[in-house]
Structure formats: structure tokens, C-alpha cells
A and B are shown apart, each in its own frame.
Chain A
Amino acid sequence: MRSARISPARRRVLDGASAGGPSGDAVVLAGARRAVIVRSRNARGNGVAGFGFVGPALVLLAVLYVIPTIVDGAFSLTNYQLGGQAGFVGVANYSALAHDSLFGQSAVNTLIFAVLTVGVGTVLALGAALLLSGSFVGKGIYRFLIYLPQSISFASGAVIWTWLFNAQDGPINAVLRDLGGSGVNWLTSPHVALFSLVIMSWWRDIGFYMVVLIAAIEGVPQYLYEAARVDGASAWKTLWHVTLPSIRPAMLFVVLTWGLGALQMFTQTYIMTDGGPVQSTYSVVLKIYTDAFQSLHLGYAASEAFVLLFVSIIIGAIAVRWFSRDLERS
């Protein structure tokens, strides 16, 4: 039974967190013999071995993820410049951020990009998943082709789409002109460029989320569909009242992962537009990058990075709450 793939794992994770592992009830349920073994294992100092196994991963995670996060918070309170001294300036960087119009513009661009990419992209991925699940001859090859862009790195994909979108010589405009239309300034018009980056991201990522959603859809128990058929529900009603509620955890997973990824938009805009035209595709991470490594204002860039960290963690926390509430209800 593959139903509701995400929820059992999450439940296990949450159980593990609140009760310190598959503790109490597991032992009770497994009966006396196992209880004896578990007790003797604890008595043999299993705890030390456990730390030995998880230790390297925890140390590396601390050094490479947790400490940098704290370092970032500390540096964001300084006027540190590359090659210079770090002086404490309090929250001056943050109040400067509030008046930094390019940061504001970048934040708005990034949000529009994320909402369009994930909002519309999830619907498209769901459509593809519904189209290609169930019994359907040749579904394997269709899935493979839609999934294939995942094998192209972001940088390669960005370079390829720079060519496809090229206004003078690019293939897309060539086809549009052959059809009697006029070319579009895909990457050179401030009204279009951000949307062009969204198209590239759809192309790159829809396949992955389609596969996630197919796995969830094919895990919905058949008897639910049969019950719907017996009740004479239309295809639309079946989708709305049977399929969608059953794959809610997978949908949340898609929106969360994709959304957090989209907020980090960088490679596309760095390679395809360099933030232009007229800063219409400037993203938060591109702003951090230029402030840190071109203007060398590392302290200021650290405060920008901290805002991004903070927003991501808040979104993550809200999503985790949704997940667990979902589980309580189901």
C-alpha cells in the first residue's frame, strides 16, 4: 500500500522528536522478549556507540550550516568590508536595508518569480501528473521526456535558454517570424524578462515535481475511486473530492520545496540577464552576491542574507505546522 506517502514518514519523524525515538509503545507492543533485549542493550552502553555513528554528520552540519548561520547574524551587525576591520554598528545595516530601493526591488522580483513559478508550476505539474498516471500506453517515454530537463544543470539550462530567447538570432523568435508574427524581446524587455526566467524554471523543474505527484496519485487507494464511481461522481468531482484531498501532503511538499528553492533564484538571472533590463530581474541572492563580492560590503550583505534566512525559516516553520495539523486530522 503506497497511500499518502509523506504522512507516515512525517508522523514517524514527529513521534521521534517528541518521544525520543520509537520508544515506549514499540517496546510494549513487541512483547516481553524484545523488552529484555532493549533493556540489556541500553545497559551495555549503546548510547556511546550511537554518538559515534551520528557524530561526524552532526559536526559537519554544525560547521557547514549552523555556525555559518550564527556567523551571518554576527557579521550583519558590523560594517565589515573585505580586507578591512569589522566594527560594530548595531542594527544600522538593517535600517539601511529598509531604504535600499534596489533591495526592495529585488525582494519584489524574487517574490513575483517564486509565486509565478511555484503557483502556476504546481498546477502544471499536477496536470502532467494526472495526464500520465494510471493505465496509459507509452506513459514511460512521456514521463522520461518531461523529466529529462532535470539532467541539465541550471547553468547549462540558463545558457541554452539564453540562445533560445535571443531576440535577433534565437530559435523561438525565428519560429514566431516564420509563423508571421513578430519577435518578442524575451530577455531585453523589462516587462517580459522576469516571465522568461519563470518559463525556464518551469521547463527545468516541472518534471521533478510531476514525478513526486505521480507517486502520490498512484498511491491513492483504488476503493476510493470505486466508491466515487458507484456514487456516480463526475471526473471533476472525483478529482476534487478524492484525488486532491488524498495527495495533500505531497502537494504541500511540492509547494514548500519548490518555494524555498525559488526564493534562492540566482543562476538564471546571473547568466541570462545579469539582473537587467533595468533591474527587472534582480533577485535577492544576486543583490547579496554583488554587495558582498563586487562592492565588498560583507557586513551589509550579511544582513541581506539574514533576511533571506529568516524568511525561509518562517516559511519552513509554517509549512511544518501545516504538515502536522494535516496528520492530526487524517
Chain B
Amino acid sequence: MGGRLVTLVMLTGKRKVVRKSARHLVAVVVSLVFFVPILVAIITSLKSNASALTSSVLSLPHHLDFSNYRSVLDLGGFANYTKVSAIVSIGATIVQVGVATCAGYGFAKLRFRGRGLLFMAVLLTLMLPPAAVALPLFLEMMHFPLLGGNSIGGTGGIGLLNSYPGLMAPYLVSGFSVFLARQFFSTLPDELGEAARIDGCSEWAVFWRIYRPLATPLIVIVTLFAFQTAWVDFLWPLIVAKGPSLFTLQVGLSSFQQEYTAQWSDIMAAAILASLPIMAIFIFGQRYLRRGIAWSGGKS
């Protein structure tokens, strides 16, 4: 590489070329630093446990061996973890998208007393760290009245612990998605709704028939964000699920790693499995995610 640079300089005699090549060189090195760990994990997951220890890190296996994935899914219980993760993430996402879209529309397009103050309160919930809220939320779920064997006073049973609703709880709403939705609806003209109201539409019909069909990009973005948050969370499912039957993939992965220490190929296969849907979202939904980041920064 260095030799080629020198030749280029001699041929053109321009500093610009040097600077450009140097910039590419830095960019290549930096991207590799970020990409190689993923590459190593994928390659290792396709080797046998023994050859993961003996062969060189980046040497490809002789033949692609997906047996690690199969054994992790069957023996490691990852088929069930995947099911739990899917139910929790999809269920919570549906609720969060519905709730956030309605609320964002309300804050952007309807007038009511205390609107500004209430929206400020929504933003303030963004300051509450989920990891600190997890413990009291656990207590609240445990003492949830009349569910999970609890009396009306919230004692006697386990409440919503070790249940799907309990696992979904923190992702049913997010101040961030309400904020995104409000930003989005503020960009749509008020006149659309006024015209429909003059024609006699109810407030719900104005939202559902006029504004919601225009909100597809918003719905896609909130769906991706909500699904991702629910899928990758670790602390909450760790404390709410009492046993492997309700472990999500992230918790299952951690318990698998503790049980099968040093079986690195299997562990890497499990790690890739636990992130697979998010990787798919990233590769196919990139465009939307970037737009979401831009909106959250207030470009509306």
C-alpha cells in the first residue's frame, strides 16, 4: 500500500491524492476494527468447537458447518427462547405503536388543557433510567392486584412476574416514540383535518381515515425501534422470568454461556442467533432507521 502511495505521488505530484488516499486508508482500517469482531464470531460459529481453538482466527472452515446452530436450537433450548422473544417483542411492539401513534397525533393536532405541560411530562420520563426503574417496576408487577394469585391488596401470589404481560410491560410505551410521533404529525398540514371536520367527520375518523394513512413511515420507524428495544433488553427479562421456559434469547444466551464455558463455536452460534432479527432489520430497514435518527434530532 505504502509503495503504491509513493508511486502515485511521483506520478501526479499532487498532495490532494495523498490526502485522499490517506483518508481511504484510515476509513478502511477503522471500518475493519468495527467489522472484524462480527466476522470472527460468524466464522467461529461455523467451525467445530475443537478447531475454534486450534485454527487461526480468520481462517475459513473447510466446509460450512451449520451443525452448531442446529445443536444450539435443539439441545440448548434456543427454539423456545426464540418463541418467547418473538411473542414478547411482537406483542409489546403492537401496543407501543398504537399508543404512540395516537398520543403523538393528539399532542400535535388536537388542543386541550395542559397539553404543553403533559408533553413536557412525557419528555421528562426519558430522563428516568430504565435500569433504576426496573427494581420498583418489579415490585409493582409482583404486587399487581387480582392477578397471578394476588388479592385485591396485591399480596399472596406472584402477580405478573413470570408471565408474558410482565415480560412485555416496560416496552408497552416509550416517551421516545410518543416524541417521534408528535414530531412527525406536526409536519402534516392542519387543513386536511379541518376539511374533514367541516364535512362532519368524527375526531376518530379524522385521525384514522385522514392522518393515519399518511403516517406509514412513522409507523415503520416506531415499529423498528420498539421491536429492537424489546428484543435486546437484558436486565428486565433476567429478573422477571423465573425459569428457562420464559427466558428470552438474551437471557438464554447468558445462561448458555455460563453452562457451556469454552465451547466457543456453540456460544458464537448462540450469540449470532440472539441478534439475527436485529441484524436483518438493520440491513433491510437502514433507510428508515436513519430517518428516525434524523427526526429525533428534530429535523421535521
Q: Using an 8 Å CB-CB cutoff, how does the interface string of A108-121 with B read, 1 for contact, 0 for none?
A: 00000000000000
A148–B38 CB distance below 8 A: yes
- Mark out the residues of chain A between 191 and 250 whose CB falls within 8 Å of any chain B CB in the assembled complex: 203, 206-208, 211-212, 215-216, 219, 250
A139 vs B28: C-alpha distance in the bound complex, in angstroms? 10
B102–A156 CB distance below 8 A: no
B122–A266 CB distance below 8 A: no
**Chain B residue, CB-CB nearest to A76:** B136
* Closest-CB distance, A186 to chain B (whole angstroms): 13
Given A21-B111, A203-B37, the answer on whether A267 and B234 have CB atoms closer than 8 Å is: yes
The size of the chain A interface, using a CB distance under 8 A, is 110
How would you classify the secondary structure of chain B's contact residues: helix, strand, loop or mixed? helix
Q: Using an 8 Å CB-CB cutoff, how does the interface string of B63-79 with A read, 1 for contact, 0 for none?
A: 00000000000000000
* A75 part of interface (Cβ distance < 8 Å): yes
- Mark out the residues of chain B between 114 and 144 whose CB falls within 8 Å of any chain A CB in the assembled complex: 114-123, 125-133, 135-140
* B27 part of interface (Cβ distance < 8 Å): yes
* A68 part of interface (Cβ distance < 8 Å): yes
**Chain B residue, CB-CB nearest to A178:** B56
B127–A56 CB distance below 8 A: no
* Closest-CB distance, B277 to chain A (whole angstroms): 9
* A12 part of interface (Cβ distance < 8 Å): yes
* B239 part of interface (Cβ distance < 8 Å): yes
Among B33, B135, B138, B175, point to the contact of A61 (Cβ < 8 A): B175
Among A46, A153, A203, A302, point to the contact of B112 (Cβ < 8 A): A46
* A150 part of interface (Cβ distance < 8 Å): yes
Among B56, B122, B170, point to the contact of A57 (Cβ < 8 A): B122
B128–A156 CB distance below 8 A: no
B286–A47 CB distance below 8 A: no
Given A49-B110, A50-B112, A142-B31, the answer on whether A67 and B262 have CB atoms closer than 8 Å is: no
B130–A13 CB distance below 8 A: no
**Chain B residue, CB-CB nearest to A11:** B298
Given A37-B194, A42-B111, A64-B137, the answer on whether A312 and B297 have CB atoms closer than 8 Å is: no
Among A16, A151, A206, A253, point to the contact of B279 (Cβ < 8 A): A151
**Chain A residue, CB-CB nearest to B252:** A155
Residue in A18, A52, A152, A285 with the greatest tally of chain B CB atoms within 10 Å = A152
A8 vs B183: C-alpha distance in the bound complex, in angstroms? 11
* Closest-CB distance, B172 to chain A (whole angstroms): 5
Given A53-B105, A138-B27, the answer on whether A71 and B268 have CB atoms closer than 8 Å is: no
A145–B173 CB distance below 8 A: no
* A280 part of interface (Cβ distance < 8 Å): no
Among A151, A155, A215, point to the contact of B294 (Cβ < 8 A): A215
A69 vs B136: C-alpha distance in the bound complex, in angstroms? 7
- Mark out the residues of chain A between 142 and 183 whose CB falls within 8 Å of any chain B CB in the assembled complex: 142, 144-156, 159-164, 166, 169, 171, 174-175
**Chain B residue, CB-CB nearest to A150:** B282
* Closest-CB distance, B191 to chain A (whole angstroms): 9
B34–A148 CB distance below 8 A: yes
A169–B53 CB distance below 8 A: yes
Residues of B within 8 A of A266 (CB): 131, 234-235
Residues of B within 8 A of A164 (CB): 37, 40
A160–B110 CB distance below 8 A: no
Among A38, A68, A138, A151, point to the contact of B278 (Cβ < 8 A): A151
B128–A309 CB distance below 8 A: yes
A308 vs B235: C-alpha distance in the bound complex, in angstroms? 16
B271–A312 CB distance below 8 A: no
A217 vs B78: C-alpha distance in the bound complex, in angstroms? 43
* Closest-CB distance, B171 to chain A (whole angstroms): 9
* A126 part of interface (Cβ distance < 8 Å): no
* B178 part of interface (Cβ distance < 8 Å): yes
A48 vs B16: C-alpha distance in the bound complex, in angstroms? 64
A205 vs B119: C-alpha distance in the bound complex, in angstroms? 29
* Closest-CB distance, A69 to chain B (whole angstroms): 6
Given A6-B298, A13-B123, A305-B136, the answer on whether A267 and B235 have CB atoms closer than 8 Å is: yes
B119–A163 CB distance below 8 A: no
Chain A residues engaging chain B, CB cutoff 8 angstroms = 2, 5-10, 12-13, 16-21, 37-38, 41-42, 44, 46-54, 56-58, 60-61, 63-69, 71-72, 75, 128, 131-132, 136, 138-139, 141-142, 144-156, 159-164, 166, 169, 171, 174-175, 203, 206-208, 211-212, 215-216, 219, 250, 253, 260, 263-264, 266-267, 270-271, 285, 288-289, 292-293, 298, 301-302, 305-306, 308-309, 312-313, 316-317
Chain B residues engaging chain A, CB cutoff 8 angstroms = 23-24, 26-28, 30-35, 37-38, 40-41, 44, 53, 56-57, 98-100, 102-103, 105-107, 110-123, 125-133, 135-140, 169-170, 172-173, 175, 178, 183, 186, 194, 197, 203-204, 207, 231-232, 234-235, 238-239, 250-251, 253-254, 257, 262, 264, 267-268, 270-272, 274-275, 278-279, 281-283, 286, 290, 293-294, 297-300
Can you name 5 extra interface pairs (CB under 8 A) apart from A5-B298, A17-B117, A215-B294? A21-B115, A50-B112, A68-B140, A146-B30, A271-B254
11 inter-chain pairs at a CB distance below 8 angstroms, sorted by A residue, are A16-B119, A16-B120, A47-B110, A54-B112, A64-B169, A131-B26, A142-B28, A142-B31, A145-B35, A163-B268, A270-B234
